[in-house]
Amino acid sequence: MRSESVSKKTLDLNKVRSIIFDDIDVLLEDFGLEYEQVADNIFMRCPIHEGSDNPQGVSISLTKNAWRCWTRGCHDEFGTDIFSFVRGVLYSKDEPYQFSDALRHVCKLYNVNNATRQAEEKQKPKQ
């Protein structure tokens, strides 16, 4: 009997998240969002719900790597991580976006190809 292991590359979401937060301006400018940074927080009108007029309706914490909609609670529907923010901004009723769509968008935007980790996947022994 012989056991072999196969190396499989998988995307490390923590590395991708770090890449985004290291240069979050790229993401916000890609969406055409106007924002203000105060200390470790970014504030803007909520780009997810219609009719947002509060310039501090959304905050993104650069230390917590999380976001929140203070006016309509959009984060309750989409989640508070940055991938959920991207999904919420991309979302439309005609074409709902999934996590994989948001991940694909940021990976393309940031040209992510080095945020992988090696995962060992063991195969069943050959008989």
Cα–Cα dist 32/36, whole Å: 13
Question: What is the per-residue pLDDT for 96?
Answer: 78
Using CA atoms, how far apart are residues 116 and 67, in angstroms rounded to an integer? Answer: 25
Residue indicated by tokens 């309509």: 72
pLDDT of residue 50: 86
- In whole angstroms, give the CA distance from residue 44 to residue 60: 9
The reported pLDDT for the residue numbered 77 is 93
Task: List average pLDDT for each run of 10 residues in the chain, which is 127 residues long.
Answer: 48 93 97 97 95 94 97 95 96 80 94 61 42
Angle at the Cα of 101 from the Cα atoms of 100 and 103, rounded to 5 degrees:
65
pLDDT at residue 36, as a whole number: 98
| pLDDT score of 126 | 47
The partner residues of 43 in beta bridges, in order of sequence, read: 36, 59
Distance CA 44, CA 67 (A): 11
Burial class (CB in 10 A: 0-12, 13-18, 19+), 74: buried
Q: Which one, of 77, 93, 78, 38, lies nearest residue 60 by Cα?
A: 38
Helix, coil or strand: residue 4: coil
